[in-house]
Amino acid sequence: GENVEQHPSTLSVQEGDSAVIKCTYSDSASNYFPWYKQELGKRPQLIIDIRSNVGEKKDQRIAVTLNKTAKHFSLHITETQPEDSAVYFCAVEMWQGAQKLVFGQGTRLTINP
Amino acid sequence: SAVISQKPSRDICQRGTSLTIQCQVDSQVTMMFWYRQQPGQSLTLIATANQGSEATYESGFVIDKFPISRPNLTFSTLTVSNMSPEDSSIYLCSVAAGDTQYFGPGTRLTVL
């Protein structure tokens, strides 16, 4: 089955700096890669996703890059703000069309004022 | 995106008992899923709730422990049976809109 590794497990950055979280996956047939943000006590919220026919996608301060050859994708947050503090999860669709997700282990991001 | 609600939002239960969690969506959806999130951990898929047929369980999860119903395209239930403290987790339902999944608010279960 699909195996998803996420690094780092914790990340602390100064407000205004950038944060990068990386995930690797095992199944080369996977085509859909979402990122979720989970604040304490809240549900996971989709923040950005990317499909395998695209190498990069941006939404304001958030971007995701995908390297299908190397089987890894990364979340980039620029100009970090205190409200970016949360746990971030990457996910990979198990196989095309299955709509079932395998999640990474999560990264606890802390933004220091 | 769909509006998803779950009941109860939290519960404290005694070992050996069962709890049924409800998931309601405000629109018809084909795919509904149940996940478990153990304290401080990631999300693990329990099963896909199929409308009109038995749920499809992932490795490590069985129907006797986690029976699921899906009577229509807007509703599903997950029962956690014969509970033990190891079942203390957050249980989340999700729905798929195309590839994208949206999550319910979760049910925080504590088993004593």
- pLDDT for B62-101, tens place per residue? 999 999 999 999 999 999 999 999 999 999 999 998 878 9
Q: Which of B87, B96, B23, B93 is nearest to B61 (CA)?
A: B87
> Could you say which of A93, A102, A105 has the minimum Cβ distance to residue B99?
A93
Where in chain B does DSSP place strands (E)?
A: 4-7, 10-13, 19-25, 32-37, 43-49, 56-57, 68-72, 75-80, 89-97, 100-103, 107-111
CA distance B45 to B67: 14
Interface of A with B in 28-47 (CB under 8 A): 32, 34, 36, 42-46
Within an 8 Å CB–CB cutoff, is residue A103 touching chain B?
yes
> Could you say which of B42, B59, B99 has the minimum Cβ distance to residue A99?
B99
CA distance A78 to A59: 11
- A93 Cβ contact partners less than 8 Å away, ≥ 6 residues apart: A30, A31, A32, A33, A99, A100, A101, A102, B99
pLDDT tens column, A31-78: 899 999 999 999 999 999 999 888 999 999 999 999 999 999 999 999
